[in-house]
Amino acid sequence: MLAFTGCSTPDGIDSDVSSLNSVTAANFDRIFDVSTDNSGLVRVTPIGEGVSKSVVTLGHGSDGEITLNPGESTTHNYPEGSYTVTIVSYDLAGNSTTNTYPLQVTYVAPTDISVSQTFAGTTLTITATANYANGMLVTWGDGGANEVPTVMTGALGETFTVPAHTYAPGVYTLTVTALSGGAATTTATYPVTVYAPFALPITYESPIQNYGIGGTFGGVGVAVVANPFPGGLNTSANVWRYTKPTGAAFWSGTWTPMSTPNSVPINMDNGNKIKVLVYSTEVGKMLNVELEQADNGIPNQVLKVASTVANQWEELVFDFGASGIPAGTSFRQLVFRYNDVTDGLGEVIYIDNIRQSN
């Protein structure tokens, strides 16, 4: 037996679809989701009732017309500026409605500029970062009133770099400007002191000599201070205070690098004598001048000279002429020690005008 069943329309669904030919779209709108990170990224999402598709023209670039189904979006990176976005909405019957929407893209000023500086001699290398920066410019500060800023290399969210810059010794203002990609910018300035290579004579008076170069060992302390005893052989404004506190090791002292690029080696062809102005409160304690790290590998050279007067400036002369140092020898470290036969007893001496002569 064969049985046949017919199709029926379920309750609630009308089998007449002719009305779809007259359905129209309405309540058109658009959603612009504009990023705030200065990327210029904008998401465009057309919305509307009864829309079967939307055709979007972004108003910038060469993407042309972009067709979107209901609920879909498109994205585009805009430069800062004003744009007109055109959306053509189609209903189920194929009828279209065109609407235009203004779009304003504004970039925010970058924040939190951070600059890292590294010196090699008088050559400065910098890197820079900033939130929301699409670009950076640096003005080195040594090019006069009409100095043209240098463009740094980098991109949004990255560290910006620039080729190293060589200065003449001096004091400058470094200016770094973070660019939003639009009109907004943020500028930071940094004082830059470019030291001349550290060299004899050492006077403690020059603003472009780094008197803090080097260090101490064994517990002594040093500082550049105003001359507490101006007069006699030394009326200069500043001197070097050398303190050997109670308990400082007998072998304590200071070391100063005299090697390139930050210093100038002590070339003995320029003179076998090192002369030093010294102010001490005691007679008979010895100051050491030690020349180390010779470029030709000869041993370190040490001379000790005792103070001969108390409570006044005197010149101590360290004559290396009898030490057999080969011609052309250069030393790359200068060391001072004081009273190296015993631990510190709270001694304080003052040193100035360290120079080389014949």
Q: Which of 105, 128, 155 is the last residue of a domain?
A: 105
Residues 260 and 349 placed together within one structural domain of the fold? yes
CA 230 to chain centre: 41
Residues 167 and 96 placed together within one structural domain of the fold? no
Residues 99 and 117 placed together within one structural domain of the fold? no
**DSSP state letter for 59:** S
Residues 82 and 43 placed together within one structural domain of the fold? yes
Q: Where are the beta strands (DSSP E) in 236-282?
A: 238-244, 253-257, 266-267, 273-280
Residues 253 and 346 placed together within one structural domain of the fold? yes
Residues 274 and 299 placed together within one structural domain of the fold? yes
Q: Which of 159, 194, 229 is the last residue of a domain?
A: 194
Give the pLDDT confidence score for residue 28 in this predicted structure: 63
Q: Which domain holds residue 89?
A: 24-105
Give the pLDDT confidence score for residue 205 in this predicted structure: 97
Q: How many structural domains are present in the chain?
A: 3
Residues 97 and 162 placed together within one structural domain of the fold? no
Question: Cα–Cα distance between 110 and 290 in angstroms, integer?
Answer: 53
In a domain, 6, yes or no: no
Residues 261 and 147 placed together within one structural domain of the fold? no
Residues 338 and 269 placed together within one structural domain of the fold? yes
In a domain, 302, yes or no: yes
User: Are residues 106 and 65 in contact, defined by beta-carbon separation less than 8 angstroms?
Assistant: no
Per-residue pLDDT of the chain (358 residues; tens, 9 = 90+): 223 233 333 333 333 433 333 345 556 666 899 999 999 999 999 999 999 999 999 999 998 999 999 999 999 999 999 999 999 999 999 999 999 999 999 999 999 999 999 998 899 999 999 999 999 999 999 999 999 999 999 999 999 999 999 999 999 999 999 999 999 999 999 999 999 999 999 999 999 999 999 999 999 999 999 999 999 999 999 999 999 999 999 999 999 999 998 899 999 999 999 999 999 999 999 999 999 999 999 999 999 999 999 999 999 999 999 999 999 999 999 999 999 999 999 999 999 999 999 9
Give the pLDDT confidence score for residue 9 in this predicted structure: 33
In a domain, 202, yes or no: no
Q: Tokens 């500082």 label which residue?
A: 223
pTM exceeds cut of 0.85: no
Residues 221 and 347 placed together within one structural domain of the fold? yes
In a domain, 242, yes or no: yes
In a domain, 292, yes or no: yes
Give the pLDDT confidence score for residue 242 in this predicted structure: 99
Q: Which of 38, 73, 105 is the last residue of a domain?
A: 105
CATH number, residue 226: 2.60.120.260
Residues 255 and 145 placed together within one structural domain of the fold? no
The token duo for 287 is 């100051």
Give the pLDDT confidence score for residue 228 in this predicted structure: 99
In a domain, 13, yes or no: no
Those residues with Cβ within 8 angstroms of residue 44's Cβ, 6 or more apart along the chain or in another chain: 30, 31, 32, 56, 58, 73, 74, 75, 76, 85, 87
In a domain, 310, yes or no: yes
In a domain, 42, yes or no: yes
Residues 241 and 320 placed together within one structural domain of the fold? yes
Phi/psi of residue 180, nearest 5 degrees: -75, -25
CATH number, residue 28: 2.60.40.10
Nearest residue to 355 (alpha-carbon basis) of 200, 205, 197: 200
